[in-house]
Structure 1
Amino acid sequence: MTFTASTPNLGMPPIDSHRTAATAAGRSTPWKLGHVIEADDPDYGMGEFVYLKGVASTALGSWVVYNPDDWSTVLLGPDMIGSVAVAMAPTVANEFGWYQIKGKAIGKVLAGFVDNANVYATATAGSVDDAIVAGDRVKNAKGASAVGTPAAGLAEFEIDRPFVDDALAA
Structure 2
Amino acid sequence: MAYIPETPNLGFPPIAYTGPASNVAGRSTPWKLGDVIRAVDPVYGVGEFIYLQGVASTAVGSWVVYNPDDWSTVLLGADAIGSVAVAMSANVASQYGWYQIKGKAIGKALAGFLDNANVYATATAGSVDDAVVAGDRVKNAKGASAVGTPSAGLAEFEIDRPFVDDGLAA
Tell me the TM-score normalised to structure 2 length. Answer: 0.95
CA contact (8 A) 1:23 1:30 kept: no
Instruction: Give the superposed CA RMSD.
Output: 1.4
Inter-CA distance 68–14: structure 2 relative to 1 (3 Å threshold): same
Unaligned stretches of 5+ residues in structure 1: none
1:9 deviates by 2.5
1:16 deviates by 0.8
1:113 aligns with 2:113: yes
Distance, in Å, in 2 between the alignment partners of 1:141 and 1:24 is: 38
1:85 deviates by 0.1
> Structure 2: which amino acid aligns with 1:106?
I
1:12 deviates by 1.2
Aligned to 1:134: 134
Cα deviations by residue, 1:127-153 (Å, 9 ceiling, x for unpaired):
000000000000000000000000000
Aligned to 2:24: 23
Unaligned stretches of 5+ residues in structure 2: none
CA contact (8 A) 2:66 2:82 kept: yes
Aligned to 2:96: 96
CA contact (8 A) 2:5 2:12 kept: no
Distance, in Å, in 1 between the alignment partners of 2:157 and 2:25 is: 33
Distance, in Å, in 2 between the alignment partners of 1:105 and 1:25 is: 33
Alignment of 1:134-153 (within 5 A): 134-153=134-153
Distance, in Å, in 2 between the alignment partners of 1:123 and 1:39 is: 31
> Structure 2: which amino acid aligns with 1:75?
L
Shift >4 Å, 4+ stretches: none
Distance, in Å, in 2 between the alignment partners of 1:48 and 1:114 is: 24
Aligned to 1:44: 44
Aligned to 1:62: 62
